[in-house]
Structure 1
Amino acid sequence: MSEENTPATPRIGHPVFARFYTRVSQVMERRGMAEHRQRLLAGLAGRVIEVGAGNGLNFAHYPATVARVVAIEPEPRLRAIARHAAKAAPVPVDVTAGLAERLPAADESFDAAVVSLVLCSLPDPGAALKEMLRVLKPGGQLRFLEHVRADTPGLVRWQRLLDTTVWPYLAGGCHTGRDSAAAIRESGFTIDRLERFLLPDARTPVSFHIRGTASRPPRDH
């Protein structure tokens, strides 16, 4: 689906963040994020919707068992970079405009959904997760890779300070201290696997991450 066919999608522009993220994300890839992306996507198959594709760094890691990826990205500069990355992907990738809270997809039309470093920046992550639940087939998977709330009261206080002052303005709406695992459960998914790790390997307000798999319950659940 092209942008021309989605006139209701508002233009979401974060030009400064888009340039900043493009540079910083490459550093993160070299410091270990690329390996986590590979683990995130291993074993996927069928039709996949990636919500918040950013500059397309996941695309190179999709396994050949994936039939097609529909990648949603609202930020125009990141979307342009993602379209370039899609040309080199090992599987077909369609990059399109859209909002996580109103996915341009039919009910139960995908085998899996992917979010990576996205839930932290959405105005309403619960609404977005319910949309992913809607477009997944019963039993379909959600693969998630997110930075999350710290595990000590002192660092949580630092996260709250950042999240209520400058960080969301500098980082495209990002919040450092969200409990994304809880949001995934509360939206109706069942978490099947959850791993926690630090990246970078130091205890800072932005180091705490999770990676895992959740599933949409079957119809008779």
Structure 2
Amino acid sequence: MGRGTCVHHPLFARLYPLMGKAMERGGMAEHRQALLARLTGEVIEVGAGDGLNFPHYPTTVTRVLAVEPEPHLRSLAHAAAGQAPVPVEVVDGLAEQLPAEDATANAVVVSLVLCSVRDQDAALREFYRVLKPGGQLRFLEHVQADTPGLARFQRVLDAAIWPRLAGGCHTGRDTAASIERSGFTIERLDHFMFPDARTPASFHLLGTAVRSGSG
């Protein structure tokens, strides 16, 4: 049930793997490990990028469907999937239109993705749709700053040049509120700074939310 997509950020897609490797060395790898710890069963990773999460999946995961709409990043993810400790299938697709049936996933994973999706609420509705009742949404995202001054600066950046430079990224989204508005129950929420300096892109959340409902 795959759907064609048209997401092209050619310059950003070539810079992102370099930035990602630098972030991993700077400590992001440990946050990815925490994001994926104790996952089990069938997982859909949305916005898999070049596959930086793949080495961190625990062997209790039976399969990862890795969805990535950007062609260059998707080709890198294909290569990374071959080295993963669990079976990973990399496919084209959008967060707002996932190539998966209803209530089939034990978990949905997003890392540094909800900042850049075109429609955050639509994406979260899709995550809810594909999760089994009681399934988990694991998220690692940079979000709105914790002071009015920096939050205003984020809004200025997001309305101006930042999304065009950073592959559609927005620095100031209130992602936790969006997750709860979509019907999830947040069970774990950790705040941290990465990097330690208070920049517009330093405010991060690491959390787990659960899909409620019986169907």
TM-score class normalised by the smaller sequence: over 0.9
Partner SS, residue 213 of structure 1: strand
Structure 2 residue corresponding to 1:127, chosen from 122, 126, 140: 122
Deviations 1:127-168 (A, max 9, x none): 011101000000000000000000011111111111011100
Partner residue in 2 for 1:139: 134
Partner residue in 2 for 1:84: 79
Partner residue in 2 for 1:52: 47
Partner residue in 2 for 1:197: 192
Work out whether 1:161 is the aligned partner of 2:153: no
Cα distance in 2, alignment partners of residues 209 and 64 from structure 1 = 27
Partner residue in 1 for 2:63: 68
Deviations 1:91-124 (A, max 9, x none): 0000000011111100001100000000000110
Runs of 4+ in 1 over 2 A off after TM superposition: none
Partner residue in 1 for 2:17: 22
Cα distance in 1, alignment partners of residues 78 and 119 from structure 2 = 26
Q: How many residues get paired?
A: 215
Structure 2 residue corresponding to 1:98, chosen from 75, 93, 102: 93
Structure 1 residue corresponding to 2:7, chosen from 12, 15, 36: 12
Q: Percent identity?
A: 65
Of residues 20-29 and 190-199 in structure 1, the stretch that sits farther from structure 2 once superposed is 20-29
Cα deviation for residue 12 of structure 1 reads: 1.2
Partner residue in 2 for 1:187: 182
Letter in 1 for 2:41: G
Cα deviation for residue 10 of structure 1 reads: 2.3
Cα distance in 2, alignment partners of residues 159 and 88 from structure 1 = 37
Partner residue in 1 for 2:171: 176
Partner residue in 2 for 1:36: 31
Partner SS, residue 114 of structure 1: strand
Cα deviation for residue 18 of structure 1 reads: 0.3
Letter in 1 for 2:116: S
Cα distance in 2, alignment partners of residues 212 and 139 from structure 1 = 15
Work out whether 1:111 is the aligned partner of 2:100: no
CA contact (8 A) 2:109 2:137 kept: yes
TM-score by length of 1: 0.95
Extract unaligned runs of 5+ from structure 1: none
Cα distance in 2, alignment partners of residues 47 and 9 from structure 1 = 23
Cα deviation for residue 80 of structure 1 reads: 0.4
Cα distance in 2, alignment partners of residues 59 and 136 from structure 1 = 20
TM-score by length of 2: 0.98
CA contact (8 A) 2:43 2:107 kept: yes
Structure 2 residue corresponding to 1:212, chosen from 202, 207, 215: 207
